[in-house]
Amino acid sequence: MDLNGLLGEKGIKTGDLVRVRAKNQIVEGYVMPSTEAEKGMLVLKLKSGYNLGLKQENIEGIEKLIESKVPGIPKPVELKSKPELPVISVLHTGGTIASRIDYSTGAVYASFKPEDLVSLVPEIQDIANIKTKQVMNIMSEDLRFRHYAKIAEAIKEEIGSGVKGIILGHGTDTMHFTSAALSFIFENLPVPVILVGAQRSTDRGSSDAAMNLICAAEFIKQTDFAGIAICMHENTSDNNCLILPGTKARKLHTSRRDAFKPVNAEAIARVNYDSRKVEFLQKDYPKATKKELVVRNGFEEKVALLKTHANMNAEQFSFFEEKGFKGLVIEGTGLGHAPVGDEPESKKILEAIKSLNDKGCTIVMTSQCLYGRTNMTVYTNLRRLVNAGVIPGEDMLPETAFIKLAWLLGNYSPEEAKKLVGKNLRGEISECSRELF
Amino acid sequence: MDLNGLLGEKGIKTGDLVRVRAKNQIVEGYVMPSTEAEKGMLVLKLKSGYNLGLKQENIEGIEKLIESKVPGIPKPVELKSKPELPVISVLHTGGTIASRIDYSTGAVYASFKPEDLVSLVPEIQDIANIKTKQVMNIMSEDLRFRHYAKIAEAIKEEIGSGVKGIILGHGTDTMHFTSAALSFIFENLPVPVILVGAQRSTDRGSSDAAMNLICAAEFIKQTDFAGIAICMHENTSDNNCLILPGTKARKLHTSRRDAFKPVNAEAIARVNYDSRKVEFLQKDYPKATKKELVVRNGFEEKVALLKTHANMNAEQFSFFEEKGFKGLVIEGTGLGHAPVGDEPESKKILEAIKSLNDKGCTIVMTSQCLYGRTNMTVYTNLRRLVNAGVIPGEDMLPETAFIKLAWLLGNYSPEEAKKLVGKNLRGEISECSRELF
């Protein structure tokens, strides 16, 4: 009997809560619809929010616990205006925070309209008057430089309309690339622009979307911070969100709600979900000035990020010369190493790097350790790289350095870009004793 | 007056402890020799072990505190044999653990002989009878697959001589690549083989070399663990070392002594430096069996690791087809994403990945989040990748997946490699509920 026959016999259908015995373990979860890819596989949504696939051959017993109660999609709430509250604009780009499960395929789809987002979190209207706008609807891994420029335009327009701040709904996968890009695009930003994502889609009980949105709105309402930041869960309990610096944050877990961590920096602030209290963790966070807002949204397309690994060959570096790249961020090992020692392959790699630099490609070194700082004076191999023209990326995250280099080469001459890439412009490089250099 | 003139006037020479006022800050440190690259720059070694460079123009005052006391290099100690103690073999490959500062250039050099290593830590002779051997002397970023095979040969030879265990001195930058490689090369390893590195060179007061070596030796002496592991500081205090699984550890800080962390796994054990007590954190760690030692040291050279980033183009993927690569580990975003959505560039990338797979290249997906697990059934874009032939790397570290794929393709047919790459062979993939799949 096939899987559908087995389920039909027990009167089990999509959405039912079932208990399954498989390989001597007991699992409870909601039956997800099977698709072509999962023929003969029972897919359960566990209470943790994760999907579990069970091969039919391993199923020793199955019983229905509760009939299907597929969560309905909330109907759009009419937006109410309260004159005493500030205005917050929610801009929408796509991603899980706007996603729900398509029960016909079991897959997660980006399909919410901005009004739906607000209707999911009605209490946000007690914090502020909410404007919404869908800028685009793209999964974050597909975002390109042109999208950053488009998002920046939408942000500028909202700022012009006089809002207290902006929430940018964004997929989490590349949220730190976008937050870095917006950090560089804008100079003298007069309001907070907070990127908010969700690790679990909004139709799950375990969704983090609502709390992240509420905390971002509270932060915007209460703060004099002005700049780009990310608002996500601090830990796996639903108590605090952190406001993370746009150039110093990174996704460090595939699925946990507290996936985003500050790297080589403190979080800007903590927002308590219950008390709505904002506690600042950074003393000198950016505030609004009377300086005019500057928007530089150029990006050089021919820029790449290259992570080094054992056993590399020169062709992996000379590719960037052959293809005419203008910028390359190397994500090296340790203090900023690439294999440029005395092995024959290493010597060829050093030649390839030298040649790439001589052709006018700006090369910046970061570390795949992520935490810590490049220091390119300590070892012989490091000096070889510096002599070949490689510029130390200080304690910049590789992703931030990549965005910064593309942005610099899109708005400045290569000579200016070389000078600016190792200097702190938007908090992407920590001040420390090495500033005395 | 130039810098050397200024120092000469004050009677200050290399190695002296000085106090400098620069930009209204006071700094104390030892004067390092200046090199061509640092003309006009005073380089101080701070008590933290870090170097600080001060531009002459910023120096407002300088005074000598203590005359130079360049630490002498300890003379080789004669190895004493105590019949009641086990024999531990210390194999040497290079890296900081064998490094000292060359006071003629100020750079760190790999120049210690193995006997010197033991002479630095005489108390290790109270734990075991120490044999030493220099297998090679290469900075770890330059290590290649052929070196893994050479190290494996040396390990096999030592095992044949009947030692209780082996310590492998190794540079920290790629120590986790080597520990993964050795984990796959050896099956049924009968003894512990512990990789030990140092983040600070042995002529510094802050060196971690001695404690890491002592803890590794104590662990080998006391344990029935048999397999590949890493022994490094647990935190920045000099109290505990962790024994980390060879396929589940990663360098996560450029300079801290506790740079190595277990990822998606528990540490195997904790060794207290003062009490010498070994506390096991894993219950089911590998132990010696009566099965015969198997050594498979083949590696396919044409394998690479590719980290994805925003704004990629298809040429970054088709490069691997043009160059005839046999294996590619993609370090994607989130649950295992690459840009393969509906943007024109994304569509071309999907085509490039499909074509690469069709040419017989085995493609494995891991996550640049590092923590967590790929799950390639959740989103439409993920299913597209799986349909293009991409194999989920489960919760393997990207570096481990890269080494595993090269090793599989070096010892098995591509068909076997495809089957084995997503299966747990050496603890590189965690057992969890998804094992029910």
Mean pLDDT check: name the lowest of A22-36, A134-148, A266-280, B410-424.
A22-36
Statement to judge: residues A103 and A245 lie in one domain: yes
> Minimal Cα–Cα distance from A109 to chain B, Å?
7
| B contacts of A255 (beta carbons < 8 Å) | 335, 372-373, 375
Q: How confident is the model over B102-148, as pLDDT tens digits?
A: 544 455 555 456 666 677 788 888 999 988 888 998 889 999 999 99
Q: Supply the DSSP string of B413-437, one letter for each residue.
A: -HHHHHHHHTS-SSS-S---GGGG-
Longest alpha-carbon distance in chain B = 76
> Minimal Cα–Cα distance from B372 to chain A, Å?
5
Stretch A39-46: mean pLDDT = 75
> Minimal Cα–Cα distance from B33 to chain A, Å?
12
Mean pLDDT check: name the lowest of A264-278, A287-301, B198-212.
B198-212
The residue of chain B with its CA nearest to that of A58 is B436
Q: How confident is the model over A138-173, as pLDDT tens digits?
A: 889 999 999 999 999 999 999 999 999 999 999 999
Q: Supply the DSSP string of B185-221, one letter for each residue.
A: HEES--SEEEEE--SS-TTSTT--HHHHHHHHHHHHH
E strand or H helix that includes residue B99: strand B99-101
Percent of chain A's residues with pLDDT above 70:
87
Mean pLDDT check: name the lowest of A38-52, A53-67, B342-356.
A38-52
Q: What is the pLDDT of residue B33?
A: 64
Q: What is the pLDDT of residue A132?
A: 86
Statement to judge: residues B396 and B264 lie in one domain: no
Active site residue A172: yes
CA distance A330 to A303: 11
Statement to judge: residues B243 and B307 lie in one domain: no
Residue from the list A254, A345, A383 with its beta carbon closest to the beta carbon of B374: A254
Choosing among B139, B311, B322, B380, which should be mutated to test the A contact, i.e. which has the most A CBs within 10 A?
B311
Active site residue B96: yes
| A contacts of B106 (beta carbons < 8 Å) | 377
Q: What is the pLDDT of residue A122?
A: 82
Subunit contact B108:A140, Cβ cutoff 8 A = no
Choosing among B34, B100, B173, B375, which should be mutated to test the A contact, i.e. which has the most A CBs within 10 A?
B173
Of residues B45, B93, B132, B172, which has the active-site annotation? Answer: B172
The residue of chain A with its CA nearest to that of B54 is A437
Longest alpha-carbon distance in chain A = 76
Subunit contact B311:A140, Cβ cutoff 8 A = no
- Bridge partners (DSSP) of residue A196 are A169, A231
Stretch A291-311: mean pLDDT = 98
CB A316 within 8 A of CB A326: no
Interface A–B counts its CB contacts (< 8 A) at 251
Structural domain includes residue A81: no
Statement to judge: residues A320 and A376 lie in one domain: yes
Statement to judge: residues A272 and A417 lie in one domain: no
* A249 vs B46, higher pLDDT: A249
CB A168 within 8 A of CB A141: no
| B contacts of A372 (beta carbons < 8 Å) | 253-256, 259
Confidence grade of residue A134 (pLDDT, cut at 50, 70, 90): confident
Rg (CA), chain A: 25
CA distance B341 to A416: 35
Statement to judge: residues A135 and A59 lie in one domain: no
Structural domain includes residue A105: yes
Statement to judge: residues B374 and B419 lie in one domain: yes
Statement to judge: residues A337 and A227 lie in one domain: no
The ipTM, to two decimals, is: 0.86
DSSP letter, residue A165: E
Residue from the list B38, B145, B373 with its beta carbon closest to the beta carbon of A254: B373
Q: What is the pLDDT of residue B420?
A: 98
The residue range of the domain holding A235 is 87-295
CB B272 within 8 A of CB A390: no
The residue of chain A with its CA nearest to that of B308 is A305
Q: What is the pLDDT of residue A73?
A: 47
Structural domain includes residue A82: no
Statement to judge: residues B38 and B101 lie in one domain: no
> Minimal Cα–Cα distance from B182 to chain A, Å?
14
Subunit contact B309:A334, Cβ cutoff 8 A = no
Structural domain includes residue B73: no
CB B42 within 8 A of CB B53: yes
> Minimal Cα–Cα distance from A216 to chain B, Å?
22
Tokens of B278: 């070994």
The residue of chain B with its CA nearest to that of A261 is B369
DSSP β-ladder status, B99-101 and B108-110: antiparallel
Statement to judge: residues A200 and A119 lie in one domain: yes
The residue of chain A with its CA nearest to that of B142 is A339
CA distance A348 to A351: 5
| B contacts of A235 (beta carbons < 8 Å) | none
> Minimal Cα–Cα distance from A222 to chain B, Å?
32
Structural domain includes residue B282: yes
Q: How confident is the model over A367-378, as pLDDT tens digits?
A: 999 999 998 877
Q: Which of B249, B279, B295 is the last residue of a domain?
A: B295
Subunit contact B140:A316, Cβ cutoff 8 A = no
Q: How confident is the model over A200-217, as pLDDT tens digits?
A: 876 666 678 889 999 999
Residue from the list B23, B174, B343 with its beta carbon closest to the beta carbon of A310: B174
At position B345, the amino acid (one-letter code) is E
Q: What is the pLDDT of residue B17?
A: 84
Structural domain includes residue A100: yes
Choosing among A142, A299, A317, A434, which should be mutated to test the B contact, i.e. which has the most B CBs within 10 A?
A142
CB B220 within 8 A of CB B131: no
CATH of the domain at B282: 3.40.50.1170
Q: Which of A250, A265, A295 is the last residue of a domain?
A: A295
Residue from the list B52, B339, B374 with its beta carbon closest to the beta carbon of A436: B52
Distances (CA, A) of B4 to B1, B7, B11, B26, B107: 8, 5, 10, 20, 19
> Minimal Cα–Cα distance from B79 to chain A, Å?
31
The residue of chain A with its CA nearest to that of B371 is A253
Q: What is the pLDDT of residue B13?
A: 80
Choosing among B32, B55, B141, B383, which should be mutated to test the A contact, i.e. which has the most A CBs within 10 A?
B141
SS3 A152: helix
For chain A, what is the domain count? 3
Q: Report whether pLDDT(A37) > 50.
A: no
Tokens of B217: 């030796």
Statement to judge: residues A204 and A246 lie in one domain: yes
Stretches where chain B sits below pLDDT 50 are 36-38, 71-73, 103-105, 111, 433-437
Q: Which of B252, B275, B295 is the last residue of a domain?
A: B295
The residue of chain A with its CA nearest to that of B43 is A437
Structural domain includes residue B285: yes
Structural domain includes residue A71: no
Statement to judge: residues B312 and B288 lie in one domain: no
Upper half-sphere CA count for residue A427 (Cβ side, 13 Å): 29
Instruction: Kindly tell me the number of DSSP H helices and DSSP E strands found in chain A.
Output: 10, 23
Q: What is the pLDDT of residue B433?
A: 43
Closest CA to B213 of B124, B135, B115, B125: B124
Confidence grade of residue A32 (pLDDT, cut at 50, 70, 90): confident
* A272 vs A199, higher pLDDT: A272
Closest CA to A270 of A304, A208, A306, A222: A222
Of residues A93, A96, A247, A374, which has the active-site annotation? Answer: A96
CATH of the domain at A22: 2.30.30.520
Residue from the list B108, B145, B437 with its beta carbon closest to the beta carbon of A378: B108
